[in-house]
Amino acid sequence: MQTLLQQINDTAAYLQKFNYHQAKAGIVLGTGLGELVQHIQVEKSIPYHEIPHFPESTVESHKGQLIFGRIGAVPVIAMQGRFHYYEGYTMQQITFPIRVMKALGIQHLLLSNAAGGMNPAFKKGDLVLLDDHINLQPESPLRGLNSPAFGTRFPDMSSPYDKNLGQLLLQAAADKGCTLHKGVYVSVMGPNLETRAEYRFLRMIGADMVGMSTVPEVIVANQLQLPCAAVSVITDECDPDNLHPVSIEEIIAVAGKADEKLSSIFAEVVKRIS
């Protein structure tokens, strides 16, 4: 695992040459969610393929670039597009940018994703703060990392989402007249969507929404003792008794409509981070 550590250090050193470090917040933008960039005073934008050791995003709607800039007075690093296990990457590749952003000095991490809503109270376009999660991904991003340089090998996950950041998100949403629900997210491998029986099973085990990301990054954030919070945009309603086919184009379109609200909330939270 010395190789991974060296890669993290190499990538951080490459990015530091742009004289951009000690950013306060890192932000990961999910499928169809890129409006936040309009709230950033962009100082530097770097395509992933130009960054040493970075994977490249292969998903439609993920622009695949790292944004350096400020929201208000707060320096931020934003990922326009993330990586997924279903793309063929390892869990350590998926979470590599989180480790790099931490090496660059971020103190808070905000994540967004598009998710299918299984809780009947959630409708298309709703925003849901992750209160907890269920990990059904096939492996852990911590597998094999036994060096203390990566953080504790057995991070506690009793409260994976930072309560202070969560409260800031709820307050910012309320101030903007937006409803921010709370729910449990289940992360699956994908890329196929779920069957009716699978939706029933996921609902039965306690999940309110389902997606294919976020949890690996949150696990690494907890290992790094990096406070994090995440919000899902409900892009389709997954009622197994009334299930309709859905396409990735529809999912992106619904996410895009909700993106302005979510981006405005994220921007406000960044400004309030102390």
Percent of the chain having pLDDT more than 90?
81
Q: What is the pLDDT of residues 214-251, one digit of tens each?
A: 999 999 999 999 999 999 999 999 999 999 888 888 88
The predicted structure's pLDDT at residue 1: 61
Largest CA distance in the chain: 55
Q: Is there a domain that residue 11 lies in? A: no
Q: Is there a domain that residue 147 lies in? A: yes
What's the number of domains the chain is made of? 1
The domain of 234 spans 22-272
Cβ burial 54-85 (10 Å sphere, 16+ → b, else e): bbebebebbebbbbbbbbeebbbbbbbbbbbb
- Average pLDDT, whole number, for the chain? 93
Q: What is the pLDDT of residues 21-57, one digit of tens each?
A: 678 999 999 877 778 889 999 999 999 999 999 998 7
Residues 268 and 227: their CA atoms lie apart, in Å, by: 17
Evaluate the omega torsion of the peptide bond into residue 191 and state whether it is cis, within 30 degrees of 0.
yes
Q: What is the pLDDT of residues 127-170, one digit of tens each?
A: 999 999 999 999 999 999 988 999 999 999 999 999 999 999 99
Q: Is there a domain that residue 6 lies in? A: no
- Does the pLDDT of residue 96 top 90, yes or no? yes
Is the Cα dihedral 252, 253, 258, 263 positive or negative? positive
Torsion, Cα of 162, 163, 169, 170 (10° steps): 160
Q: Is there a domain that residue 8 lies in? A: no
Q: Is there a domain that residue 73 lies in? A: yes
Mean pLDDT computed over 157-186: 97
Q: Would you give the DSSP letter of residue 38? A: G
Q: Is there a domain that residue 9 lies in? A: no
Tokens standing for 143? 């597998």
When mean pLDDT is compared across 59-68, 156-165, 253-262, the lowest value belongs to 59-68
The predicted structure's pLDDT at residue 250: 85
Q: Which helix (H) or strand (E) holds 9?
A: helix 2-16
Q: Is there a domain that residue 42 lies in? A: yes
Mean pLDDT computed over 117-136: 97
118 within 8 A of 203, measured Cβ to Cβ: yes
Q: DSSP letter string over 76-107?
A: EEEEES---GGGT--HHHHTHHHHHHHHTT--
Residues 209 and 126: their CA atoms lie apart, in Å, by: 11
Residues 237 and 93: their CA atoms lie apart, in Å, by: 31
Percent of the chain having pLDDT more than 70?
96
Mean pLDDT computed over 201-226: 98
Look up the CATH number of the domain holding residue 55. Answer: 3.40.50.1580
